[in-house]
Structures are given as structure tokens and as C-alpha cells.
Structure 1
């Protein structure tokens, strides 16, 4: 697999990131559209391949980078991969996003039969470690690579079921903490294994959205484990993690500044100007072009306009800014839309 740098670029993504961190001149702001399974469309692979074949996982990342020239590759295991390894009923199809079938954890008494994952021994996780080894050799000198480990509340919900988990936060809080400890320790094992390849860590925990669980439960059940994980990611990789949070997260912003993160990715539901004022003194921000209304369904002019506005605000961020989408761009989006997104990034970044 060969890495091809877009001829419109003056720097590789690794050079750009290093220049920004060193306070030196750079050509444009970093740009990381959240593409997820959409990347499989570039090389004509299936979504199943993207989750199960190490060679094809690597090929998908390289093919997508060679076409778009974005500033970060990302592989799993993600929330689905870790939940799958822990016994969740994850259903994969060739052309549909993964989803959960039946809840596998019917009763908390069953937790006595669970052990945290040993990432280096678990066959499901080794799929992603094998892909990491391929990318570390061919791509890491040119493009920063991140391994996603999902988020504790989200993985727990894949095992227990969202409705049951939220109910249990009130009725059986001790058992929820038992489950979250299992999940967190499993994520830490994956982080440590990925650290061998020099990758940074990415996390996303949509079920921890305060619009879903409320700020009280976020403080009790989500924040302590996310704090532990961001600290651990830095300990085992030497790099701060990236975190994406879905929804209107204003009520929990006071916790974000205490997390050991490189940048916080915000949903397009968030006012980027407000993030500039209240969050950017403490941490870098990524965001937040609307992935559906603008990137998937917008015209070229609408994509350019949204990118220009986000870049204008982002350049005023005190701790730095990464141009991104507010959430994942849907599978099935025309690839030309991403081409326009990157073209706009090069023009306005």
C-alpha cells in the first residue's frame, strides 16, 4: 500500500500537526471529516470487511486518505468492536451500519462470569491490532493514526441495553458501576495494546450525552470513567486522546476542561462561538460542519460557506482548532461531497 500526498498540499499531515504544536508556520488548519464506514466506499470494500479483515481495514484507510488527503486515519476497535469481544450481539451486514440485536446481559449476576479483555489475546481485538501493524509501517510516517476505543456508557449500553442501563442508574447504581469497571478496564487493555504502534487514542460516548442521561448521571456514571481513560491514554501512549461528544452538551462543559484531551469534537448542535468563549481557553476544539444537512445533502456552495464560517471562528480558538464535521457523515454520501469539503478546507483553512 502506497501513500499519495495530494498535490494541492504543501505539507504532509504529520508535518502540519508538528508545525502547529511547535508554533511554527503551517499551510492550513488540520481537517478531519468524521467518515466512519463511509470510507469503505472509496475502495469498493464492504462494511463487513471494514470490521473483520485487517488487510482490508488498512486498505480502506489508505484509499480514503489518498483520495481526500484528510489529516488523520482512524481504526477500531471502537465501541462495537469492544462490545463484540465482551459478548454483545453485534450484527454486521455488507452494506449497513453495525447494530445491536438482543441484549446479552440479562441479569447482573451474569457479570461474575465476565473478565476484562486481554487485547493481545482476544481474537476480535487482534483484528484491529493486525491492521494497526500494517498502517504503522506504511502510513504513520505521513499521517497521524488514531485508534478509537469508543466510550464506557455506550459500550455498557450495547451489553445491557440503553433503556435498562438508564433505569439501572437509578435502581441499581452499584451494579452499573460494576459493569462500567469491566468496560473501562477492557478499554484500557485496548489502549495499551495500541500504544505499541505509536497511535493516539480517540473516544466517543454518545450514550453519555446529558440530553439522554442528564448532568447528574453524567457526573456520577460517565465522567469518572472518562477522566480515568483520558489519563490512562496519555500514560500509555504519551499522547492526549481525542473525544467526541454528541448533542447539546452545555450542561457538562465544566467537566471537559478537566479531561486530559488533545481536542474536543463538538456536535453541530453546539454554537461554535459559545465554545470559543467558554471552552477554547482550556482545550482545543474540533467541529462542527453539519454532516447531514450540509455535507451529505448540501450543494458545493453550501459546503464551502459552512466550512468558511467554522474556519473563521476556529482560527480564534485560544488552544487551537481542527476543522471537522459535527458528527459522522452518513454512509451512502456521495464521495464528491467529501472532495468539496476538503477543497473548501484548503481554500479557507
Structure 2
């Protein structure tokens, strides 16, 4: 794959810490746990962290140095902001993320890509501190996820993967709007390198095939400029 110019991405699936905790407990219950039942929350997060760390280490033992990028995912934001405050993240969740990422770093030179949907700008300095190399998916439809501002502030510390709007433009726009969207994101995020042009999320079944073609064509054309 490398000889052909492609990067190999390792994705275990279901690598969340925060996400797995609230999935097990129910969202409202885990929000209460984080504030009112911290001892229990810490114990649950400890078990999840150990589990996820063991999965990563076994995965890396099997694949060796084949991969160039390894995906870590934990959705921390929604359309309008974070699910939890930055202070709660730093106290309760960030140490778990740090432990997992450090263990991965000790076994591979692959770049770390952190997937977190939503408005996560308040945590980007934390992601950098954790050793994250790439931010995915850059959900441009969420608040404070302006690509020009993100590139200006974090372009020397983070690469970006995604940013082509899948909430409005891809499913509901016309091909020319899709091409315009792709050119816009490339113009914002590509200068100086550090951008993988891609849709924000999975292309859904309601996206017209012509829009998918327009996205790919625009990416190829603008990527050569």
C-alpha cells in the first residue's frame, strides 16, 4: 500500500471511553455519575480504560508496523457544544485518554487520529497535549468549528481530516454547491499541508450519486492546484 502512495489506517471500532461509559449506564445516569457518584465513575472508567488499552496493544501486536495512522474515537460534542464541561473532561476523561494514547505511542510510530463529532473546539488544546496528530471529522455544521479559524490557530499542531459538510451540502445541495464546498475547505485547510479532504461523516443513503461524484472530482481537481 505504501509503495502505491496510500496510507494504511488502523481502526479497531468502538474505542470510546466516555462513549462506552454512558452507553453502559445510560446517558443521563452517567452524567449524574460524573458529578454525584465520582468514585463509581472512576471505577467504571478504570475498567473501560484497561479494556480499551488491552485491545489496542493486542491489535498493534498483530499488525506490527504496517499501519500509518491509528484511529481513536470518543464523541465528546454535539451540534451546539460539549456534552460535558472542559473541567469535567480534564478531571474524569482526559486521564483515561492519555493513558491509552501513551500506551499506543509506546508501540507504534503511526499517527494518532482522534475522531470526535460535534463542537469540540474548547478541547483542542487538550487533544494536542495528549499527543493527537489528526482531528477528525471536523464537523463544520457544529458551532465554533470554523475551518479557517481552526487552521489559523491549530494548523501547526494538528492535521485535519474531513470537513466536507454531510449535514446539508452533500444530501441536499446540487453538484455545483458540493464542488464549492470542497474548494472552500481545501482553501482553508490545505495551505502548508496537513489536510485530508473527506466528508465529515459516512455518506448516507440519501446523498445523490451525482453529489458524491462532484465531491470526488472537486477534490482531485483542487488538490492538484
What residue number does 1:202 align with? Answer: 71
> Would the alpha carbon gap of residues 178 and 331 (structure 1) be closer, same or farther in structure 2, given more than 3 Å must change?
farther
> Would the alpha carbon gap of residues 311 and 223 (structure 1) be closer, same or farther in structure 2, given more than 3 Å must change?
same
> Would the alpha carbon gap of residues 325 and 259 (structure 1) be closer, same or farther in structure 2, given more than 3 Å must change?
farther
Q: How does 1:48-67 map to 2 (within 5 A)?
A: none
Deviation, 1:216, is 1.5
> Would the alpha carbon gap of residues 159 and 276 (structure 1) be closer, same or farther in structure 2, given more than 3 Å must change?
same
Q: Is the 8 A contact 1:147 1:194 kept in 2?
A: no
Q: How does 1:10-159 map to 2 (within 5 A)?
A: 15-16=4-5, 144-149=8-13, 150-159=15-24
* 2:108 matches 1:237: yes
Please give the alpha-carbon distance, in whole angstroms, between the structure 2 residues aligned to 1:156 and 1:14: 40
Alignment size in residue pairs: 212
Deviation, 1:278, is 1.1
What residue number does 1:225 align with? Answer: 96
What residue number does 1:330 align with? Answer: 204
> Would the alpha carbon gap of residues 328 and 227 (structure 1) be closer, same or farther in structure 2, given more than 3 Å must change?
farther
TM-score normalised by the chain length of structure 1: 0.56
Please give the alpha-carbon distance, in whole angstroms, between the structure 1 residues aligned to 2:118 and 2:184: 20
> Can you give the 5+ residue segments of structure 1 that lack an aligned partner in the other structure?
1-11, 18-142
Greater Rg by CA:
1
Please give the alpha-carbon distance, in whole angstroms, between the structure 2 residues aligned to 1:278 and 1:335: 35
What residue number does 2:87 align with? Answer: 216
Q: Is the 8 A contact 1:191 1:201 kept in 2?
A: no
Which string of whole-angstrom CA distances, capped at 9 and with x for unpartnered residues, describes residues 66-102 of structure 1?
xxxxxxxxxxxxxxxxxxxxxxxxxxxxxxxxxxxxx
Deviation, 1:338, is 2.6
Please give the alpha-carbon distance, in whole angstroms, between the structure 2 residues aligned to 1:275 and 1:14: 32
Please give the alpha-carbon distance, in whole angstroms, between the structure 2 residues aligned to 1:192 and 1:294: 39
Secondary structure at the aligned position of 2:135 is classed as: strand
> Can you give the 5+ residue segments of structure 2 that lack an aligned partner in the other structure?
none
Please give the alpha-carbon distance, in whole angstroms, between the structure 2 residues aligned to 1:13 and 1:273: 31
Q: Is the 8 A contact 1:208 1:222 kept in 2?
A: no
Q: Alignment partner for residue 281 of structure 1, among 132, 145, 156?
A: 156
* 2:170 matches 1:295: yes
Aligned-pair Cα RMSD in Å: 2.2
